Amino acid sequence: MLKRSAIKRIIVASLALVIMFLFYLFPKSDELAIPEEVIYVDEASLPIYAVQKDGYVARSLAPKNNKDDDIKYIIDLLTIDSESSVLLPSSFTALIPRGTEVIDYTIEDKILKINFTKEFLNVKEYNEEKMIEALTYSLVELDGVKGIIIYVENSLLDHYPNSGKALPQVLDRNLGINKAYNVYDIKNTTMTTTYYIGKDENNIYYIPISKISNEKAEPVEIIVNELKTTPIYETNLISYLNASYELKDYQILEDNISLSFNNELLAGLTDKEINEQIKYTLALSLRDTYDISQIDITIN
């Protein structure tokens, strides 16, 4: 009798240990918190936008300045034949005309006003939009900068130097980047910016495409659908968000978006690198489109 009681206690204890082990393996929460900075940036690097080998303005990393003035350093990185331009990632190119210098700059209410020398206007017409996009998107990555205003020799730059096309006074992410148009009614358009993955021999980087269209869906739905389908713009834009991944629900708050996907998303998460790149493209796309700083993904 005592022997049976002892065996029973051993079995119960063993089962308890197994159950505890299973709870340890499968935690109750399956929420994935996406970091605000979605390309890993440490004290030695900073995000930079420049033109990559296929002509897109893309987001990558550059070594961080060892001086205090990040604004002048970023502008120097983006200036042709400057001291810092050699620090751009391989296959990336600077576009600000050689010899351009910053006369002065000020920041007020998170708006950066930059005054350039006249060499800034020497940009080639086919590069002028890319130059403005690269400069704008690079500088608004800095803490405390939400937009920029450009002056040349103390005169406001309110149009592109060559084409004469009008520019907003304050340049921010609403300017768009690598713009693609699919419109039939110019009065009712929306813009969503979707980040794709680009690769070269040495780097993985991110290519944003700002799509201007007449789609009436919520931008988060447009972004997820864009990432799920084969890009129609160029075949060298990569997305790992499989067509079987279904966005079940989402909630948009003041500074946060929560996404809930079906279980199919798990099929693509076995590779850690792909997992990170899926999260990065989603997070960057939603950040630019909604101006938010936190994205939560839940697997339903």
| Maximum Cα–Cα distance across the chain | 99
Residue type at 274 in one-letter notation? I
Q: How far apart are CA 52 and CA 60, in angstroms?
A: 10
* Structural element, H or E, at residue 77: helix 70-77
Q: What is the pLDDT of residue 216?
A: 85
Q: Tell me phi and psi for residue 72, to 5 degrees.
A: -65, -35
Tens digits of pLDDT across the chain (300 residues): 434 444 444 444 444 443 333 333 333 333 433 333 344 555 678 999 999 999 999 999 999 887 779 999 999 999 999 999 999 998 899 999 999 999 999 999 999 999 999 999 999 999 999 999 999 999 999 999 999 999 999 999 999 999 999 999 999 999 999 999 888 887 888 899 999 999 887 788 999 999 998 888 899 999 999 888 766 555 678 888 877 788 889 999 888 898 888 876 656 555 667 778 888 899 999 999 988 888 888 876
Helix/strand/coil for 67: coil
Q: For residue 84, what are its two tokens?
A: 């810092």
Dihedral angle of Cα 246, 248, 252, 258, to the nearest 10 degrees: -80
User: 211 and 191 in contact (C-beta within 8 Å)?
Assistant: yes
Q: For residue 183, what are its two tokens?
A: 């419109």
Q: What is the pTM (predicted TM-score) of this model?
A: 0.81
Closest among 294, 253, 281 to 59, alpha carbons compared:
281
Q: What is the pLDDT of residue 1?
A: 45
User: 168 and 132 in contact (C-beta within 8 Å)?
Assistant: no
